[in-house]
Chain A
Amino acid sequence: MTNISNILLSLLVSLISLGSFISEDCSGNNEKIILIVNKDSKRIDVYDRNGSTSVWVSFGSPNLRANLFHIPPEVNHWEYSHEKVEVGHLDLAKSQVLFAENLDFMDWGDLEQLGKKQKIYMILYEDYMSKERFVWNKKFTAYEVWVTADGPI
């Protein structure tokens, strides 16, 4: 397969996965869940604090919110040591790529549960949509994150 058709294939797979529901990886082929996080979205706030990154997603109701955070090993946190990995087009093609701003609260609830069993990553929108995105060997930076979704209590 040529490079071009590889890229087209990966884009096609990414596009197909955009609107799809989140599924559990039962195949054991290390399929990753990758969230594309757009800092400029009205529903999304990104904070960099204490050497880690925190993302808040809001919904129509004030009692619903999702949070994800990335705490790198340098922080020496007692609970979390999240990895940062480089992923290429082929990795993306094998992953479930989801746009954070398109997910509803129930999707985040599912992600919270899936996150107990498999790793979830975040790629920043500006990286994902950068000019070099069509360069075949472009690497995107994926940050492992911990996801929670909080409803009313």
Chain B
Amino acid sequence: MGIEEKSRKVKSGPTTLEDCGFLQMMGYDLECVIDLFEIKKDSTFIGTTADCIYEKLKSIDGFKDLASGFEGLGTEFDVILKIGATQNASANGQAWWRGSNQPIEITFNEIKMNRSALEVARTIVHEMVHAELYRAINTTNPTEKELDFRETFNTYVMMYRGSADQQHNLMADEWVTKMGEILKDVHQMLDSDGYNTFKNVYYPNGIPDHFYKSVAWDGLQGTIAWNLMKNITTTPPIKSPLEIITQDIDNVKRGRKNCL
């Protein structure tokens, strides 16, 4: 449970309500507030641009839904956000399931953080979906929805047996649209001036929804859904889906890096 001093966030301090109460009894001027988000931040994450982006994401309904499984008192699983080295040095991020009694660890690759803010937001959302999938699969108290989900997931496990990409295939089929919506909602909040200049240069008629969906597709290359989409051909000047995605991903790389 995250405890915050009312007036400022603390990097380190009491980590349980009991500890906080104890410190109060000892005469410390401390207000114990329960942070309902059971998503904890490692000290490597606090105060970074990624942290700023994460805080903006928290106000987006779609992201709240995604994170809701980790919300509230006594949730079964915690998530911890870190910035550091990933097991695969070339990855932008990783979500690590370390067993039932351990928090799910999301690590953002330190050397890959110099990306546009929207790309970092995409990585956060992508890793949170991994965390949510781990949670829904492993919860010992599944809701009806989660039981349904397990059935779906088991089909994926069967379909992609031997492939480490079950989660990515599921993400490509079921999550890309939702991920795109979250990114659309957060974009303007990251840096409104930056949003406007980006729009004026790359999408003067308004940023289309496909831009955000394309950004969400990044990282899901190689899935069955991606391969199907990739093979769709069109007659010029109509652009193929792959051409549109490539151009959108090209553009997002040039976006602002700020989170204000």
Contacts and interface: CB of A to CB of B under 8 A. Distances in A.
Given A78-B197, A116-B114, A64 B257 contact: no
B64 interface: no
B225 to A, nearest CB: 12
A69 B92 contact: no
Interface stretch (A7-15, A24-32, A88-96, A144-152): A144-152
Interface of A: 45, 47, 49-50, 54, 56, 61-65, 67, 69, 71, 75, 77-80, 105-106, 109, 112-113, 116, 148-153
Interface of B: 88-94, 111, 114-115, 123, 126-127, 194, 197, 201-202, 218-219, 221-222, 226, 246-247, 250, 253-254, 256-257
Nearest to A105: B90
B250 A153 contact: no
B88 A152 contact: yes
Contacts of A149: 90
B90 A151 contact: yes
A56 B247 CA distance: 11
**Residue among B90, B114, B221, B246 with most chain A CB within 10 A:** B90
- Secondary structure type dominating chain A contacts: mixed
A151 B88 CA distance: 8
Contact of A71 (B93, B126, B254): B254
Contacts of B194: 78
Nearest to B89: A109
A79 B91 contact: no
A44 B222 CA distance: 18
Given A149-B90, A153-B91, A62 B222 contact: yes
Those 4 A-B pairs whose CB atoms lie nearest each other, nearest first? A151-B90, A62-B222, A153-B219, A62-B221
